[in-house]
Amino acid sequence: MKYSAISLFANALSGHKKWPVQFPDKEPKKEYDAIIVGGGGHGLGAAYYLAKRYGITNVAVLEKGWIGGGNTGRNTTIIRSNYLFDESAAMYDHAVDLWDGLGQELNYNLMFSKRGVLMLAHNVHDVQSFQRHVHANRLNGVDNKWLSPEECKAFCPPLDISPHRRYPVMGGALQMRAGTARHDSVAWGYARAASKLGVDIIQNCKVIGIRRDPDGAVEGVETEKGYIASKKIGVSAAGNTSVVMEMAGLRFPLESYPLQALVSEPVKPVMPCVVMSNAVHAYISQSDKGELVIGAGTDQYTSYSQRGPLHLQEHNVAAICEIFPIFKRQRMLRSWGGIVDVTPDRSPIVGKTPVKGLYVNCGWGTGGFKATPGAADMLAYTVAHDAPHKINAPFNLDRFVGGRLIDEAAAAAVAH
């Protein structure tokens, strides 16, 4: 297989600098059966499933900061699986199935609430597109149903369905199995459960190099705390995957974009569900603390900055006020930004790489949180079997060479 944009550079690690080490004689203090780079929900979940499902407990999770301190702690908590294409529907619905009993399995309160996600249609194109989604979802066994404007209002009373609004509501697609969960609880739940099974979780341990043997296979990672050996390395480091992969001589088709969100001051329960709008690209829900959680799309330029342009937030808030006039007097409490990795077709990469023993889970864009248990499960399966599961097999690297793109960007209604 010839990789073009994902070319393998055999000598990428030659002439590297001497990294600071803690271990004596530059030899590993311990060799692990598997290393997971990235201590977010996906990485911690993969370590948990390696131990739980496949009995591989000699696993280390390496996190450059603190666990759950990256995108896992900065997302807007939405969970859904009403994606158009077969590949996406299978992946995200597998995740929703796992979400359903995850709190019980981990014995940790994830605050998973199946309150429903309602996607609003504001024009004829929206109506046709969402009804197509409803039919495609049903064919794939994914729940979704079409609501009239009056049914949308009954399901979400704060919604204004007046025909004279700037964005008139012409109907909506509702997935009732969808909802929200508390983001950081997912990381802590997986971390505690994985640790109980024998997984080592090493925080403040930045990976600065990947060692490969003479045959090109991985044999361990260099970190700021020294060298750690393993012949299997899974990388699940949102916003940093391309940097880590360059250490192994791989170029990845990823771009990093800031993604903005904000919350209001806490109020009593008023939003019964999650509402999303494609035409204005805005979404809103209410957290268990009472805050209105509001967000939009990714910024329009590539950047590692977590401060986005103010005009995007202004447009986002204005759109929410048009659809929900009741919220016009709400005060905003805080805003934040995360960094998301985006592929050319806005669909993830989950599977093997051209380097033996190196596996990857990346490119989720704005869909990472909702996929957390499913993506973690698929990465664990691939690492354990050295082969992808049928669910993640379509999300491989060679699709970018052959042009077999999934292209969920144009089909996912909104990017979140």
Helices and strands (H, E) in the chain, number of each type:
9, 20
DSSP state of 301: S
Least confident among 9-23, 118-132, 348-362, 384-398: 9-23
Mean pLDDT of the 256-283 span: 90
User: Which residue in this structure is represented by tokens 């990465």?
Assistant: 379
Least confident among 40-49, 243-252, 327-336: 327-336
Inform me whether the pLDDT recorded for 14 exceeds 60: no
Compute the Cα dihedral for 143, 283, 77, 256 and give only its sign: positive
Which neighbouring-strand residues pair with 145? Answer: 174
Compute the Cα dihedral for 316, 99, 70, 263 and give only its sign: positive
Which one is the CATH code of 24-74+184-253+345-410: 3.40.50.300, 2.40.50.140, 3.40.50.620, 3.50.50.60? 3.50.50.60
Inform me whether the pLDDT recorded for 248 exceeds 90: yes
Evaluate whether 24-74+184-253+345-410 and 117-176+255-342 have a shared fold.
no
The tokens describing 287, both together, are: 């957290």
The tokens describing 304, both together, are: 């590692």
The tokens describing 200, both together, are: 């080592």
Of 314 and 188, the one with more pLDDT: 188
pLDDT, position 133? 93
pLDDT, position 10? 27
pLDDT, position 19? 28
Say how far apart CA 404 and CA 238 lie, in whole Å: 24
| In contact, 342 and 365? CB cutoff 8 Å | yes
The tokens describing 391, both together, are: 């669910």
Q: What is the pTM of this model?
A: 0.90
What beta strand segments (E) does 301-399 contain?
332-342, 349-352, 358-362
Those residues whose C-beta lies under 8 Å from the C-beta of residue 377, and which sit 6 or more positions away, are: 45, 46, 49, 53, 94, 98
Of 75 and 208, the one with more pLDDT: 208
Least confident among 102-116, 141-155, 219-233, 339-353: 339-353
Q: Is 338 exposed, middle or buried (0-12, 13-18, 19+ CB in 10 A)?
A: buried
pLDDT, position 406? 87
Domain map (residue ranges) of the chain = 24-74+184-253+345-410, 117-176+255-342
Inform me whether the pLDDT recorded for 416 exceeds 80: no
Amino acid found at 246: E
Q: Is 325 exposed, middle or buried (0-12, 13-18, 19+ CB in 10 A)?
A: middle
pLDDT, position 15? 32
219-223, long-range: CB < 8 A, 24+ apart:
219/357, 220/28, 220/31, 220/35, 221/35, 221/37, 221/62, 222/16, 222/19, 223/19, 223/62
For the chain, what is the mean pLDDT? 88
Inform me whether the pLDDT recorded for 413 exceeds 70: no
Q: Per residue in 132-177, pLDDT tens? A: 999 999 999 999 999 999 999 999 999 999 988 888 999 999 999 9
pLDDT, position 335? 84
pLDDT, position 85? 93
**What are the CA-CA distances from residue 178 to residues 119, 143, 280, 398, 404 (Å)?**
11, 9, 21, 31, 29
Residue 305 pLDDT grade (very low, low, confident, very high; cuts 50, 70, 90): low
Least confident among 5-19, 100-114, 222-236: 5-19
Share of the chain above pLDDT 90, in %: 71
Mean pLDDT of the 356-361 span: 98
Inform me whether the pLDDT recorded for 58 exceeds 90: yes
Query: Which of these, 149, 147, 150, 148, lies nearest to 176 by C-alpha position?
Result: 147
Q: Per residue in 359-390, pLDDT tens? A: 999 999 889 999 999 999 999 999 999 999 99
pLDDT, position 304? 63
Least confident among 89-93, 124-128, 262-266, 339-343: 339-343
pLDDT, position 6? 32
Secondary structure class of 408 (helix, strand, coil): helix
**What are the CA-CA distances from residue 45 to residues 115, 206, 216, 372 (Å)?**
24, 19, 28, 8
Residue range 117-176+255-342 forms a domain whose CATH class is: alpha beta
pLDDT, position 30? 81
